[in-house]
Structure 1
Amino acid sequence: MFYHVKDLQFNARVSRPDPFFANLLLQQFGGPNGELKAALQYFVQAFGAKDPYPDKYDMLMDIATEEFSHLEIVGATIQMLLAGVNGKLKDETEEAEIMKLLGGKAAKESVIHDAMVNPHFLVESAGTPILTDSRGVPFSGTYINANGDLSVDLRSNMGAESRAKIVYEYLMKFTDDPYVKETLRFLMTREVAHFQMFEAALETIQPNFPPGQRQADPRYSNTYFNMSSGAEVRGPWNDGVSTKLQETWQYIEDPIAHVAATSGLVNQPINGTDRTAALMEKIEKDLARERSEEVLAATPAGENQWSEYTLSGEMNDGTPGDGRVGKGSKKS
């Protein structure tokens, strides 16, 4: 159940109209790293977590709901940056007024030029927020990443928050409005907060590496191929011990010769690790059984319902209350 509060989460303000920056800000309204993408991604991911991971379901729904509120902040800011534009575009007799609002003929021509890059923004919407990015590319469901495995989805979410954060950083370089910068800084900071939430949630799922149930083949999981000619470069990604599996990196200096010598890697021996094929097979079976039992144990058999509701005047535990919030009905 969603309930809209008419006040914004953050007090968005602008100092003056700025149609050019309003167009840029569409990137976070309907773009691939914007607020709608984040809201829908976490919303969709939450469904599969409802039974096996009710705590993660709650977190994903909470953050998805907050992202919708951020979409509202972005849309409100775009609309304020376009103050007066929509009305002037509707008045056929006030061409001079729109020119004055935009700063004269040169500025108007600049806006027209921008509209050639994103014509929908002014021509179709008269300068109100629309679900496109700053170039006019429509929002697409292909932006959403949801794979049904929380160890995968939470990593996708950390990447989404990182990309959104850097877009806000770049956007701040294109405005000198202190109020707009204040809003962008708030939105950018919430990306940092959400990243940490997803990271913490991922750590409560153990094991979570590698993602999924199937284990990595120990013949290849610690092999680094030197695939370029020139000076040899070594670092913790190809020297020492790997970060997650704690295996010793095997640096293959001449991949062509190595592939030929191992019959296309088929005969590559296991080196630098105590993991074996038999051990990996056992871990896969045990983990698959554990994950399956987790889901099945949390999934009711037969008749099922998503939420439990209470009679008016009773809370879930039978104590008096207003009856407006039942179990699972917070955002269900």
Structure 2
Amino acid sequence: MFYHAKELQFNARVSKPDPKFASLLLEQFGGMNGELKAAMQYFTQAFAARQPYPEIYDMLMDIATEEFSHLEIVGATIQMLMNGVNGELKDISEQSEIMQMVVGKSEKENIIHEAMVNPMFMVVSGGGPTVTNSQGVPWSGYYVDANGDLTVDLRSDIAAETRAKITYEYLMQFTGDPEVKETLKFLMTREVAHHQMFEAALSTLKPNFPPGVTQGDPRYSNLYFNLSKGQEARGPWNEGSSPILGEPWQYIDDPQAHVTSTDGLREQKPNDAIMSVEEADKKSMEVSQQRSEEVKRAVPKGSNQWNRYDS
């Protein structure tokens, strides 16, 4: 059950109305990297984790609920940035502030352009937040990544927090309002905190690489193909050893010749891989059995229930 406290998690403030920035801030209300996407992603992922991984379920639900509170902060900030616009739209007199704003051809064309870019926000909603991005594109459940495997989902969540963080970082460049910047800085910093929480949760799942249960084929796991010609670049991604598996990178300088000589890589042999093909297949079966048992043990046979309401 959800319980709503009317006080915001962070005391959002604005120095003055700013409809243009309010439109930009919609990106974090109904955009693909915004707070609604994050809340729904973690909320959805939590269901599959509920019984086999109750601790991670608890974390996902806590963070999902916090993301809903951040959505409220963004919505409140948008509304304050649009303060007065809704009332002005209801004032049909020529003396209303919004009518004075559009005096002259250039001003009118500017307002028309704003309305064309995001008609839901500027014309249809009357200045209230809409469940769209800054261009008026409606929010979609397609934004949500939930694969039912925490080694995959938690990495998606780390990426989501990273994208949200950089979006707030960019948004701060488009407002001069110190009060709004304080709110955005708070929201940005919570993305940093959540990133670390997801990293920590992922570290409790052993093994967690590669994501899922099936191991990579040792014949191909440490090959680097030099597929762009010109000034060559070398670094830890193609020389030395791979950072997680610890396999020496095999630098294929002439990919076409290599593919031809190995019959389209079908005759490729493992080279300095940590496992043979047979060992990788065995490892896949072991991890598969481990994950399967973790889920099966947590789900009772016969009748099942989500909670126990102890008095």
In the alignment, what sits opposite 1:139? 139
Q: Provide the identity percentage.
A: 65
**Structure 2 residue aligned with 1:267:** 267
Q: Distance in 2 between matches of 1:250 and 1:31?
A: 41
Question: Is the Cα contact below 8 Å between 1:262 and 1:268 reproduced in 2?
Answer: yes
CA distance in 2, matches of 1:23, 1:259: 51
| 1:100-249 superposed matches below 5 A | 100=100, 102=101, 109-249=109-249
Provide the TM-score with structure 1 as the length reference: 0.91
In 2: Cα distance, 1:194 partner to 1:24 partner: 24
Report what 1:255 is aligned to.
255
Q: CA deviation at 1:109?
A: 4.5
Q: Secondary structure at the match of 1:160?
A: helix
CA 1:104–1:190 in structure 2 vs 1: closer, same or farther (change >3 Å)? farther
Secondary structure of 2:251 counterpart: strand
Task: Tell me how far apart the structure 1 counterparts of residues 309 and 296 of structure 2 sit (CA, whole Å).
Answer: 23
Q: Counterpart of 1:36 in 2: which secondary structure?
A: helix
Deviations 1:24-51 (A, max 9, x none): 0000000000000000000000000001
Instruction: Judge which range, 276-285 or 39-48, deviates more.
Output: 276-285
- SS of alignment partner, residue 241 of structure 1: coil
Please name the residue that 2:293 is paired with: 293
TM-score by length of structure 2 reads 0.97
| Alignment: residue pair count | 310
> Unaligned 5+ residue runs, structure 1?
312-332
RMSD: 1.3
Structure 1 contact 239–249 (Cα < 8 Å) conserved: yes
Q: Which residue of 2 is the match for residue 64 of structure 1?
A: 64
Q: Name the amino acid aligned to 1:23.
A: S
2:40 counterpart residue number = 40
Task: Give the distance between the partners of 2:274 and 2:196, measured in 1 at CA.
Answer: 33
Check 1:185–1:118 CA distance in 2 against 1; reply closer, same or farther (3 A cut). Answer: same
CA distance in 2, matches of 1:43, 1:249: 39
Letter of the structure 1 residue corresponding to residue 304 of structure 2: N
Q: What CA distance in whole angstroms lies between the structure 1 residues aligned with 2:109 and 2:176?
A: 21
Pairwise CA distance, 1:305: 1.1
Give per-residue Cα distances to partners, 1:178-206, cap 9 Å, x unaligned.
00000000000000000000000000001
1:74 alignment counterpart: 74
Match of 2:21 in 1: 21
**Whole-Å Cα distance in 2 between the matches of residues 286 and 275 of structure 1?**
14
Q: Is the 8 A contact 2:240 2:249 kept in 1?
A: yes
SS at match of 1:20: helix
Instruction: Tell me the equivalent position of 1:52.
Output: 52
Amino acid at match of 2:134: S
Q: Distance in 2 between matches of 1:247 and 1:264?
A: 22
Report the 3-state secondary structure (helix = DSSP H, G, I; strand = E; otherwise coil) of the residue aligned with 1:264.
coil
Are the counterparts in 2 of residues 99 and 108 from structure 1 also a CA contact under 8 Å?
no
Tell me, in whole angstroms, the C-alpha distance in 2 between the residues paired with 1:99 and 1:271.
73
SS in 2 for 1:224: strand
1:107 to partner: Cα distance: 5.2
Residue 103 of structure 1, CA deviation:
8.3
Do the aligned partners of 1:88 and 1:94 also contact (CA within 8 Å) in 2?
no
Cα distance in 1 for residues equivalent to 2:27 and 2:83? 19
Residue aligned with 1:169, SS: helix
TM superposition shift of 1:114: 1.4
Instruction: Work out whether residues 88 and 96 of structure 2, in 8 Å CA contact, stay in contact via their aligned partners in 1.
Output: no
Q: Which moved more, 1:213-222 or 1:300-309?
A: 300-309
What whole-Å deviation, never above 9, does each CA across 1:239-267 have from its counterpart, x for those lacking one? 00001111000000000000000000000
Report SS of the residue matched to 2:44. helix
Q: How has the CA–CA distance of structure 1 residues 83 and 307 changed in structure 2, closer, same or farther, with 3 Å as cutoff? A: same
Structure 2 matches for 1:92-103, cutoff 5 A? Answer: 92-93=92-93, 96-100=96-100, 102=101
d(CA) in 1 for partners of 2:93, 2:102 = 18
